[in-house]
C-alpha cells in the first residue's frame, strides 16, 4: 500500500501550473488517512470471512486513485503542489520584502551571527530573545541591538505567515518564551539537545533499531535560532519570504521548539537535508521498522518542501 501511494500518488500530483491561492490547501485529499481507513475496513471484512472483501478493497483503492485524479485536474491543487515540489523556484505571487527591509535583515543577521559566535552554536539553539538582547548589550564584540532591529524581529515573530504561503500552526505563543534547561539533555557527539521524556526516548528507540549509522542532525531550536535560520534563508532568497518559508518554518511555527527533531546518516553531510536522505539505508530501515512519522510529507498541507529527515514527535 505504501508503494502504491508513493509511486502513483506522488507522480500523479506533480503537475506544473501557476501559483495557488490560500484556500488551495483545503482541496488536497487526506490520502494517508483515507488509505488507512480502506485497509482497516478491508481487515475487518476479512475477519468476518466476507467473500467480497478483496474486490471491495480494489474498488476502494480505485476510488482513492479517482480522488487523486480529481486533485490533478484542480488548478488550485496543481498550483500548490508545484510550489512545494519546486520549492527553490520563484512564483508570480511570491512575497518579496522591500530593499530597505532587505538591508535591515542583513544588518540584523550580522549581529545575531556575532551572538552565535560568542555563545557557541549549541547554546545558540537554546537562548531566549531576552538573553540574546543581553548578550548584545554586554559584549562589545556583538554590539547592542538597535530599537529598529528589535522592533523588526518582534514584527517578524508576530506576523501571520499565511501572508507568504506558510500554512502551519503557531506553536510558540510568546516572543520571549524560554526553554527550561532542566527539561533538556545534550546528545553526545552531536552538539544538539533534546527534551527529556518523549523526544529523547524516541531518539533512543531509533538508535536501538537502526544502529550507529543514524545521527541526530538538529534537535531543539528556540525562537532566536529559528529567527536566525529563517532570516538567513530570506537573505539567500534575495528577500523572497515565500521561497524561504517553503524550506523552513518561520519563527514561532517550528516544531523543533516543542519536540520534533531531524535525523540523518553518519557521514552523509549536507545531503541529510535533501531528498537524497530518502534513498539511504538509514531511511529505509526507519520505514521498515515502522518508525517514520514525517511532519512534512511530499503532499503536506503546510506549504513546505518534502522533508524525509524531519521526525514528528508531538
Percentage of the chain beyond pLDDT 70 is 77
Query: Under a CB-based contact definition with an 8 Å cutoff, are residues 269 and 262 in contact?
Result: no
pTM over 0.85: no
Q: What is the bridge-based pairing of β-strands 184-187 and 192-195?
A: antiparallel
- Per-residue pLDDT band for 6 (boundaries 50, 70, 90) equals very low
Span 217-275, pLDDT tens digits? 999 999 999 999 999 999 999 999 999 999 999 999 999 999 999 999 999 999 999 99
Look at residue 10 in the predicted model and tell me its pLDDT. 42
Q: What is the mean pLDDT of residues 132-138?
A: 97
- Residue 195 pLDDT greater than 50, yes or no: yes
Residue 186: strand pairing partners: 193
| More reliable by pLDDT, 183 or 7 | 183
3-state DSSP call for residue 276?
helix
Contact present, 220 and 179 (Cβ < 8 Å): yes
Q: What is the pLDDT of residue 56?
A: 57
pLDDT band at 3 (very low <50, low <70, confident <90, very high): very low
* 146 compared with 15, residue with greater pLDDT: 146
Q: What is the torsion angle, in degrees rounded to the nearest 10, for the CA atoms of residue 157, residue 158, residue 164 and residue 168?
A: 90
- Rounded mean pLDDT of the chain? 85
- Average pLDDT in the 159-178 region? 95
User: CB of 21 within 8 A of CB of 303?
Assistant: no
Percentage of the chain with pLDDT > 90?
73
Residue-wise pLDDT tens digits, 267-299: 999 999 999 999 999 999 999 999 889 999 999
Residue 20 has pLDDT above 50, yes or no: no
Secondary structure (DSSP) of 128-184: -HHHHHHHHHH-TTT-PPPHHHHHHHHHHHHS-GGGGT--PPP----TT----GGGE
Cell of 126: 537554546
Q: What is the pLDDT, as a whole number, of residue 77?
A: 84
Which residue would you say has higher pLDDT here, 59 or 292? 292
- The pLDDT assigned to 16 comes to 36
State the burial class of residue 264 (Cβ atoms within 10 Å of its Cβ: 0-12, 13-18, 19+).
Answer: buried
Amino acid at each position: 500500500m505504501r508503494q502504491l501511494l508513493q509511486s502513483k500518488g506522488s507522480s500523479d500530483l506533480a503537475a506544473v501550473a501557476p501559483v495557488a491561492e490560500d484556500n488551495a490547501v483545503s482541496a488536497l485529499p487526506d490520502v494517508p488517512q483515507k488509505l488507512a481507513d480502506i485497509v482497516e475496513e478491508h481487515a475487518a471484512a476479512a475477519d468476518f470471512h466476507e467473500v467480497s472483501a478483496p474486490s471491495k478493497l480494489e474498488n476502494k483503492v480505485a476510488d482513492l486513485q479517482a480522488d487523486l485524479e480529481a486533485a490533478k485536474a484542480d488548478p488550485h491543487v496543481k498550483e500548490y503542489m508545484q510550489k512545494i515540489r519546486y520549492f527553490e523556484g520563484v512564483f508570480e505571487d511570491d512575497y518579496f520584502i522591500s530593499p530597505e527591509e532587505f538591508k535591515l535583515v542583513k544588518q540584523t543577521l550580522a549581529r545575531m551571527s556575532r551572538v552565535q559566535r560568542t555563545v557557541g552554536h549549541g547554546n545558540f539553539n537554546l537562548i531566549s530573545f531576552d538573553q540574546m538582547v543581553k548578550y548584545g548589550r554586554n559584549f562589545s564584540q556583538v554590539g547592542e541591538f538597535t530599537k529598529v532591529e528589535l522592533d523588526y524581529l518582534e514584527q517578524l515573530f508576530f506576523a501571520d505567515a499565511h501572508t507568504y504561503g506558510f500554512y502551519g500552526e503557531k506553536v510558540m505563543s510568546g516572543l520571549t518564551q524560554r526553554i527550561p534547561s532542566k527539561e533538556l539533555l545534550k546528545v553526545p557527539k552531536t552538539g544538539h539537545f533534546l527534551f527529556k521524556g518523549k523526544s529523547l526516548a524516541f531518539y533512543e528507540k531509533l538508535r536501538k533499531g537502526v544502529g550507529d549509522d543514524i545521527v541526530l542532525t538538529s534537535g531543539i531550536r528556540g525562537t532566536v535560532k529559528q529567527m536566525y535560520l529563517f532570516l538567513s534563508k530570506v537573505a539567500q532568497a534575495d528577500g523572497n519570504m515565500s521561497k524561504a518559508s517553503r524550506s523552513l518554518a518561520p519563527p514561532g511555527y517550528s516544531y523543533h521548539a516543542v519536540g520534533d527533531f531531524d535525523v540523518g546518516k553518519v557521514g552523509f553531510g549536507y545531503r541529510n537535508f535533501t531528498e537524497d536522505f530518502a534513498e539511504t539505508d538509514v531511511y529505509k530501515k526507519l520505514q521498515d521498522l515502522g518508525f517514520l512519522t514525517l511532519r512534512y510529507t511530499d503532499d503536506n498541507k503546510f506549504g513546505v518542501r518534502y522533508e524525509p529527515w524531519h521526525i514528528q514527535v508531538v
